[in-house]
């Protein structure tokens, strides 16, 4: 048996979420729970991933990238055994099958690998956990020799069985051949009138198939989400883990409880992250980067020693080393800041390439623009890139100096070492070394008599 197939149960309604959205689409760290599980299956090298869906099936399919996931529709939720049976026809006979749940998002691959490695014609792997309060879970029953003999659901359990604290996580790994043999044998004559997947354990024990039990390193790994409280608990656990990882990798966090990573964040050494920073998408911070408080950093690459000051938003930007951004800056997608650049407060950039050593220090909008090296953009400069229909570029050569409160009406190009007088509205290209002034000329009027108040 070589190939691994993962079946993910995700057909339930999740009514306790009180949501129009299927439960498995609720997010942990910005990603739908189901996608966490799919990604885990990929990490395990699954050859097939089978999602069993029912409630909100169309929504689930619409939001899940189709590549590599096969869907099985469970029209009526007749129990976990019935759910797995819907995926059976798609499972090769010689596959090892791992059963996961769309609402149990954070199981570690290592934990599951240990389970999968147990699967053969003679044995299966079962993930259990021992809880202080086992209420609601299926209980693991063992014989005098300590071998697992069956699982009894809470609602079917005797008082004595309810005292057992080792419970079923629901996660198990078993050969497809066995599933195909055993699932059709399930009956629904039990307290809930459901086809219980858990009943295959008694069948396995009966047939002399060994039941190898593994336990997760942490309870949260097998914690399912039934309501928004549990969703928030898992979110916090996830974030604590991420914070721990960042610190291990050399970042100082002002408060490990006040940084949120919703995506993939990589950090170099001596990175400083102040409080209330949210990272989204793919972000990489080189050595000695610092991020001030209350920043949102999304899909960005930030070079060595660059400082992002408080309250800045960096989105879809590539920033070189030794740059300074913010406070209160907003870099939008397509922004490329070279080394030693400065983008200051209340500056917005979009599709802007800014050359080495250039500065846009205050109150400006620079969009669809290319700036050379050592350009100085004065306060209140606006690239007028949009005529209401089309967008146009503004180009500046090296050493350009733009006076404050300038409107650059694109398309327009300023050659090297151009100077623009403050308050100009520039509509025509300016040649190398030229000064352009485009504003009303100042008149000074002598002996000006101020108006006086009429009686
Ligand atoms: C199940 C286990 C129980 C275990 C517990 C762990 C069974 C019979 N019981 O109980 O031993 O301790 O999980 O949380 O398996 N689902 C479907 N289709 C169905 C039924 C369920 O897709 O027809 C999905 C649900 O969406 C859910 C998961 O399977 O994600 C578990 O189903 P649920 O009914 O919640 O099982 P439990 O009663 O919690
Ligand atoms: Ca449940």
User: Which numbered ligand comes closest to the C-alpha of 194?
Assistant: 1
The answer as to whether 448 is a domain residue is: no
CA–CA distance from 390 to each of 262, 365, 371, 384, 394 (Å)? 34, 17, 21, 11, 13
Cα–Cα distance measured from residue 221 to residue 219, given in angstroms and rounded to the nearest whole number: 5
Domain count within the chain: 2
pLDDT tens for residues 216-242?
A: 999 999 999 999 999 999 999 999 999
Cα–Cα distance measured from residue 370 to residue 382, given in angstroms and rounded to the nearest whole number: 14
Structure tokens at 240: 């604590």
Indicate the residue among 222, 255, 279 that finishes a domain: 222
User: Which numbered ligand comes closest to the C-alpha of 100?
Assistant: 1
147 and 245 share one domain: no
Q: Write out the residue range of the structural domain in which residue 170 sits.
A: 4-222
The answer as to whether 454 is a domain residue is: no
Contact 328, 312 (CB under 8 A): yes
Distance 82 CA to ligand 2 centre (A): 15
What are the pocket residues of ligand 1 if the criterion is a CB atom closer than 6 Å to any ligand atom?
9-12, 52, 74, 77-80, 82-83, 101-103, 137-138, 151, 153, 167-170, 196-198, 224
253 and 296 share one domain: yes
Of residues 386, 357, 344, the one with CA closest to residue 369: 386
Residue 71 has pLDDT above 80, yes or no: yes
In this prediction, residue 441 carries a pLDDT of 93
The answer as to whether 162 is a domain residue is: yes
The answer as to whether 451 is a domain residue is: no
The answer as to whether 55 is a domain residue is: yes
170 and 28 share one domain: yes
Indicate the residue among 196, 222, 248 that finishes a domain: 222
In this prediction, residue 186 carries a pLDDT of 98
CATH, residue 159: 3.90.550.10
- Ligand 1 atom at minimum distance from 11 CA: 22
The answer as to whether 449 is a domain residue is: no
pTM of the model: 0.94
Of residues 358, 360, 429, 364, the one with CA closest to residue 393: 429
209 and 237 share one domain: no
Pocket test for ligand 1, best of 12, 106, 133 (most atoms within 8 A of CB): 12
- Ligand 1 atom at minimum distance from 52 CA: 22
- Ligand 1 atom at minimum distance from 23 CA: 26
213 and 180 share one domain: yes
Distance 57 CA to ligand 1 centre (A): 17
CA–CA distance from 308 to each of 97, 127, 283, 322, 386 (Å)? 47, 45, 13, 10, 29
Distance 65 CA to ligand 1 centre (A): 25
User: Which numbered ligand comes closest to the C-alpha of 192?
Assistant: 1
CATH, residue 288: 2.160.10.10
Catalytically active residues are 362
Indicate the residue among 161, 187, 222 that finishes a domain: 222
Distance 197 CA to ligand 1 centre (A): 9
- Ligand 1 atom at minimum distance from 138 CA: 11
155 and 170 share one domain: yes
Distance 53 CA to ligand 1 centre (A): 13
pLDDT tens for residues 116-159?
A: 999 999 999 999 999 999 999 999 999 999 999 999 999 999 99
Cα–Cα distance measured from residue 189 to residue 25, given in angstroms and rounded to the nearest whole number: 32
111 and 218 share one domain: yes
102 and 127 share one domain: yes
213 and 266 share one domain: no
Which residues are CB-contacts of 39 (< 8 A; sequence separation ≥ 6)? Answer: 31
The answer as to whether 217 is a domain residue is: yes
- For all residues of the chain together, what is the average pLDDT? 97
What phi, psi does 24 have (nearest 5°)? Answer: -70, -10
Residue 455 has pLDDT above 90, yes or no: no
pLDDT tens for residues 401-423?
A: 999 999 999 999 999 999 999 99
179 and 287 share one domain: no
In this prediction, residue 81 carries a pLDDT of 98
The answer as to whether 443 is a domain residue is: no
Classify burial at 15, counting beta carbons within 10 Å of its beta carbon; exposed 0-12, middle 13-18, buried 19 or more. exposed
196 and 273 share one domain: no
> Sorting pLDDT into bands at 50, 70 and 90, what band is 18?
very high
């Amino acid at each position: 048996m070589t190939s691994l197939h993962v079946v993910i149960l995700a057909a339930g309604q999740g009514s306790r979420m009180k949501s129009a959205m299927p439960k498995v689409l609720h997010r942990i760290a910005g990603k739908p729970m189901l996608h966490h599980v799919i990604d885990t299956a990929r990490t395990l090298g699954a050859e097939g991933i089978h999602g069993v869906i029912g409630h909100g099936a169309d929504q689930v399919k619409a939001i899940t990238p189709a590549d590599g996931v096969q869907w099985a529709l469970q029209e009526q939720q007749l129990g976990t055994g019935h759910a797995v049976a819907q995926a059976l026809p798609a499972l090769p006979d010689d596959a090892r099958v791992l059963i996961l749940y769309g609402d149990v998002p954070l199981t570690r691959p290592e934990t599951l690998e240990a389970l999968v490695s147990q699967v053969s014609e003679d044995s299966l792997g079962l993930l259990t956990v021992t809880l202080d309060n086992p209420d609601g879970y299926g209980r693991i029953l063992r014989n005098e020799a300590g071998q697992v003999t069956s699982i009894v659901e809470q609602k079917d359990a005797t008082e004595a069985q309810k005292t057992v604290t080792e419970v079923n996580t629901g996660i198990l790994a078993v050969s497809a051949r066995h599933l195909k043999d055993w699932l059709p044998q399930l009956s629904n004559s039990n307290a809930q009138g459901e086809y219980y997947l858990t009943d295959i354990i008694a069948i396995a024990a009966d047939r002399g198939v060994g039941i190898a039990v593994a336990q997760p390193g942490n309870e949260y790994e097998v914690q399912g989400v039934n309501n928004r409280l549990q969703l928030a608990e898992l979110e916090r656990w996830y974030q604590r883990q991420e914070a721990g990882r960042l610190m291990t990798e050399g970042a100082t966090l002002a408060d490990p409880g006040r940084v949120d990573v919703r995506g993939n964040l990589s950090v170099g050494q001596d990175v400083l992250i102040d409080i209330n920073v949210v990272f989204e998408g793919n972000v990489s911070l080189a050595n000695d980067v610092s991020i001030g408080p209350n920043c949102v950093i999304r899909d960005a690459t930030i070079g060595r020693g660059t400082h992002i000051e408080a309250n800045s938003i960096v989105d879809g930007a590539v920033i070189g080393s030794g740059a300074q951004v913010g406070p209160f800056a907003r870099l939008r997608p397509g922004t490329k800041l070279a080394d030693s650049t400065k983008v200051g407060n209340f500056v917005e950039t979009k599709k802007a390439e800014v050359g080495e050593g250039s500065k846009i220090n205050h109150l400006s909008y620079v969009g669809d623009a290319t700036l050379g090296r050592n350009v100085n953009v004065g306060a209140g400069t606006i690239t007028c890139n949009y005529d209401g229909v089309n967008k146009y570029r503004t180009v500046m050569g090296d050493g350009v100096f733009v006076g404050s409160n300038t409107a650059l009406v694109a398309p327009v190009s300023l050659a090297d070492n151009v100077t623009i007088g403050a308050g100009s509205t520039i509509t025509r290209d300016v040649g190398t070394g030229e000064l352009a002034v485009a504003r009303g000329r100042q008149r000074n009027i002598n002996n000006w008599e101020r108006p006086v108040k009429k009686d």
